[in-house]
Structure 1
Amino acid sequence: MSSEINAVPVILTGDRTTGPLHLGHFVGSLRNRVALQKSHRQYVLLADAQALTDNADDPGKVRQNVLEVALDYLAVGIDPELTTICVQSALPALAELTMLYLNFVSVARLERNPTIKDEIQMRGFGRNIPAGFLCYPAAQAADITGFQATLVPVGEDQLPIIEQTNELVRRLNRQVGRELLLEAQALVPKTGRLPGVDGKSKMSKSQGNAIPLSASPSDVQAAVQRMYTDPDHLRASDPGQVEGNIVFVYLDAFDPDEEAVAELKSQYRRGGLGDMVLKRRLAGILEETIAPIRERRAELARDPDTVMDVLRAGTAKATEITNKTKELVVEGLGLFRL
């Protein structure tokens, strides 16, 4: 391992600032971040520059949600004494690294990235793809290597991004003739992607099927009532289907009593368990999960200056490490320096 790169394992994670976070984020990454910050050096990036790649017509939304997402981070227990929370657009070294890395990847390779292909199709860009959006894998590589991260928590749909990051790392290392940058390992959460309350797709702010971390008790109740179960389970006495049943998916993700959930599944399959019983249990568990987050978030929101101080301090710390990486790359490539 190169002596130029700190050998201490480093985690990089973050979120696009397009809206407040929801239970899908909580299951997929937030609760992992809270646990990992105690044993790893962790950076959490408020990815406002990346959010702009498909929100350039509404930069105000991106700017406003920097604070909203930061509130969610702090409310769930991400501790700025243990985790560095920073703002992407305030780290110019990341933009410079992105520009350098784009010279080592082709447009065809960017377009073949499965994650990018899926996102382009989902957004209906056709050939009107924002260049910044297409170049996301290079920007992500800049983020990961900029923080010298070796562990990146991602969902399975993001694995191609990590793969392409490592391709760029190997290409740069071959170019300079030494191990200048380190490859990163993906950390996929045990719980898979949480579906939306409509059961038709992943939980998403833009599709209106998410339960925000700031949801009120009535919002939680209404969201659970929207969840479908088994359309053929017409009476409580009827045997029911567990697989694909959204209520059971959420119970698996949030109910701490695994034995009780297993018994509920068995009873549901046999017949004799009504959907409303399941939904009441789930609504109560989700409210127990969200209530302390909602209260802490409301408390933090009354003191935005303190939240801004956290972001300034974290971004200053992140500036040092990302500038160091940029200088390593510039020097390694032998670029002209004044």
Structure 2
Amino acid sequence: MNQSSSSSRVLSGMRPTGRLHLGHYHGVLKNWVELQHQHECFFFIADWHALTTHYDDPSVIPESIWDMVIDWLAAGVDSEAATLFVQSLVPEHAELHLLLSMITPLGWLERVPSYKDQQEKLKEKDLATYGFLGYPLLQSADILIYRASQVPVGEDQVAHVELTREVARRFNHIYGREPDFEEKAEQARKKMGKRAAKQFTQLQRAYQEQGDPQALEDGRALLQAQQNINTEERERLLGYLEGSGRLILVEPQPLLTKASKMPGLDGQKMSKSYENTISLREKPEHVEQMLKRMPTDTNRVRRTDPGDPQKCPVWQFHLVYSDDGTKQWVEEGCRSAAIGCLDCKGPVIESVLNELNPMQQRAAEFEAQPDLVRRIITEGSERARVVAQETMREVREAMSLRGFES
């Protein structure tokens, strides 16, 4: 794998939680469906991560994986456009996690905001385990093993990506300096040809002596365009350009995603823990019943009482699903009591059912073809493992762990 191929690589994963709901669709899956056509995407089922909090009852994980994969495919995640795989089918994740744990200070893990936050939320569980403390580092290994340049996250997860960047930086600093690094870098520079080599040297000086950030960007672009150097030589020259060592692990950037505005049936965030979800495979008649029973503005006791859409959970659904004309009709009708609450819910019910219908048809098709679903995951995991093995070959070599390999 070369630097140019990883420069547009995106990695994202989900813990296997079983059947997904509209919150997952609007918060994650719609974004994945867009990204898969813009970047080289790796989407994975983080089954080892599930063990960090559910190690005492792993029996639910296999069925949860199955249900979640079907919902991914039904939502439009395309196995031809992206690589879909199961984390535990690529054991190199665990190896890189182990090796990174040798150089990662404990303080880095303890300061991850979600560490204490999750301990507070899950007080009923015994989370005094290394697995729970170390799961952010396993996340880092998940990202770094594919040299992903971008990781789609919400603002609350940026700290995890920053930890990954710090770990990659520390690894490259410790292991990226070969004894004959500069000699090899110079040999690679000469292979670029006289004109490109001269340009590289000028950009290197401009960045290292003057701190010109544009020179760094231009230098990276120059290296990515070179056809006369191989993967290792390109990465070595990238380190030479920056004044560090060979860039073995890539520092990813957070790809900020819009915060999901999908409300639950009670107005809170849609979440299984709140029991306020609409499953992507919920029967249409159940969806209609659930939406009809949604609470509304408590001031509208009678049909003739005026209401305030801002105080009504149904209005939050209109913000997701309705066009401007419908929202204006709702606002005016609710405030003047010209429409009742069931009238207001009508367009929402129709829109939700229209959104779910094609997904449910696709889900039924995949449920009827279990061998196809297994093949998608098996083949995706095999493709992912090829990339992971290539990274681990370089990691082992950098750490002098090649042993007696030929």
Could you tell me the TM-score, scaled by structure 2's length?
0.76
- Residue 272 of structure 2 aligns to a residue whose secondary structure is coil
1:233 is matched with which residue?
A: 300
Which moved further from structure 2: 2-11 or 16-25?
2-11
Larger Rg: 2
Q: Check the 8 A contact 1:28/1:155 in 2, yes or no.
A: no
Q: Is 1:252 aligned to residue 355 of structure 2? A: no
The amino acid across from 1:84 in the alignment is: T
Q: Quickly say closer, same or farther: Cα 1:193–1:327, change in 2 above 3 A.
A: farther
1:68 is matched with which residue?
A: 67
2:197 is matched with which residue?
A: none
Q: Is 1:212 aligned to residue 211 of structure 2? A: no
Q: Quickly say closer, same or farther: Cα 1:232–1:288, change in 2 above 3 A.
A: same
- Residue 192 of structure 1 aligns to a residue whose secondary structure is coil
Distance in 2 of aligned mates of 1:99 and 1:77:
35
Which moved further from structure 2: 169-178 or 26-35?
169-178
The alignment yields a C-alpha RMSD, in angstroms, of 2.4
Deviations 1:144-198 (A, max 9, x none): 1112211222233322212221221222222224222222222333343533322
Distance in 2 of aligned mates of 1:116 and 1:104:
19
Which moved further from structure 2: 4-13 or 54-63?
4-13
Q: Check the 8 A contact 1:42/1:84 in 2, yes or no.
A: yes
The amino acid across from 2:290 in the alignment is: A
Q: Check the 8 A contact 2:53/2:127 in 1, yes or no.
A: no
User: For 1:323-338, what aligned pairs fall within 5 Å after superposition?
Assistant: 323-335=389-401, 337-338=403-404
1:110 is matched with which residue?
A: 109
Task: Tell me the CA shift for residue 38 of structure 1.
Answer: 1.4
Distance in 2 of aligned mates of 1:176 and 1:274:
68
- Residue 187 of structure 1 aligns to a residue whose secondary structure is strand
Could you tell me the TM-score, scaled by structure 1's length?
0.90
Distance in 1 of aligned mates of 2:13 and 2:380:
13
Q: Check the 8 A contact 1:91/1:318 in 2, yes or no.
A: yes
Distance in 2 of aligned mates of 1:284 and 1:33:
25
- Residue 86 of structure 1 aligns to a residue whose secondary structure is strand
How many residues align structurally?
335
Q: Is 1:135 aligned to residue 202 of structure 2? A: no
Distance in 1 of aligned mates of 2:333 and 2:165:
47
Q: Quickly say closer, same or farther: Cα 1:132–1:241, change in 2 above 3 A.
A: farther
- Residue 102 of structure 2 aligns to a residue whose secondary structure is helix
Unpaired runs of 5+ residues, structure 1, are none
- Residue 196 of structure 1 aligns to a residue whose secondary structure is coil
Distance in 2 of aligned mates of 1:238 and 1:244:
14
Distance in 2 of aligned mates of 1:328 and 1:127:
37
2:388 is matched with which residue?
A: 322
Q: Quickly say closer, same or farther: Cα 1:10–1:309, change in 2 above 3 A.
A: same
Task: Tell me the CA shift for residue 236 of structure 1.
Answer: 5.0
Distance in 2 of aligned mates of 1:8 and 1:29:
22
Q: Quickly say closer, same or farther: Cα 1:322–1:193, change in 2 above 3 A.
A: farther
1:84 is matched with which residue?
A: 83
Task: Tell me the CA shift for residue 142 of structure 1.
Answer: 0.8
Q: Is 1:290 aligned to residue 337 of structure 2? A: no
User: For 1:94-243, what aligned pairs fall within 5 Å after superposition?
Assistant: 94-124=93-123, 128-177=127-176, 178=245, 179-200=247-268, 202-243=269-310
- Identity, % of aligned pairs? 34
